[in-house]
Amino acid sequence: MANYRLLFCCAAMSSFTVALAAQTAPAPKRAKPVHSIEAAPKPTASPNAQKEAAAKTPAPPKEPAITFNSVHVDGPYIAMTFDDGPSAALTPKLLDLLAAHHIKATFFVIGENVAEHPEIVARAAREGHEIASHSWSHPNLAKMSQESVRSQLQRTDDAIKSAIGKSPTLMRPPYGSITEREKRWIHDEFGYDIILWDVDPLDWKRPGPAVVRNRILKETRPGSIVLSHDIHPGTVEAMPSTFDELEAKGFKFVTVSELLGMATPVTPHPKAEPAEKTAAKAAPSAVPASSPGG
């Protein structure tokens, strides 16, 4: 009986010790839940905000143009140009006609012809006409090596300088054929602007003076660069009536360089808004747009 009581006391003491330990021991820390970290989505700007930001961002400066088909001008100014000369038989007749009309033109000359008839080129320059390069022998520059093109232009430059005392500042590629790369290095190396045209009567096909005249009259606008050739008899025959009728239309004649100097910026036209936007704005109140002969 004594042993039984002793065993009961030991069990009671043991239970008390366990209960006391449970009360005094620190509670175990709960593990924090693990959450994945995601980047917060960036707010998307509204279309209007994007437009405003774009408007505030200055546009990169535009490179100056080096190729011209025509020129935007304020006034009825045009440039008559004549290619492939000088011709011993025809160019002096054309110079007489230009002098009678007090017209200044631009001659894109072939270097070989300049070397053969420097006195005609000298006369044209002396009378106020512009002399420009049209290569030495009229090849297709776009199909030539850079060194061959350089030779064509340098020889022509030298012949013109020998005839008139100064180098040209303009160049017209034969047939209007030239690559973008050629335009750039020719401009950088020789300083030439590349001159094409926007009026082409196709006089190299020799359609007759009346056709040449009518095509020029139909296509010419203020700022036009008119292409023709002073090596075809029909072209020179077409010029008296062509000049008369162009003058009657109010056109004034200048050299290509003078025309380039008159260039004015083109005013952009505002874009038309969609009809639904226009209607929405109006709803609150009733408030009432090249030639082979070149």
Containing 133, the helix (H) or strand (E) segment is strand 130-133
- Residue 139, amino acid: P
Q: Choosing from 83, 84, 200, 203, which is the catalytic residue?
A: 83
Q: Which two structure tokens, joined as six digits, stand for 193?
A: 């602007």
C-alpha pair distances (Å), 135 with each of 64, 169, 178, 266, 292: 24, 13, 12, 32, 15
Q: Choosing from 117, 129, 138, 229, which is the catalytic residue?
A: 229
Catalytic residue list contains 117: no
| Cα(37)–Cα(191) distance, integer angstroms | 62
- Give me the long-range contacts of 12-21 (CB less than 8 A, separation at least 24): none
Alpha-carbon torsion angle 210, 212, 218, 224, nearest 10: -150
| Cα(219)–Cα(75) distance, integer angstroms | 17
Prior bond of 209 cis (ω within 30°): no
| Cα(71)–Cα(122) distance, integer angstroms | 27
Only one residue has tokens 């077409």, namely 238
Catalytic residue list contains 229: yes
**Catalytic positions, please?**
83, 229
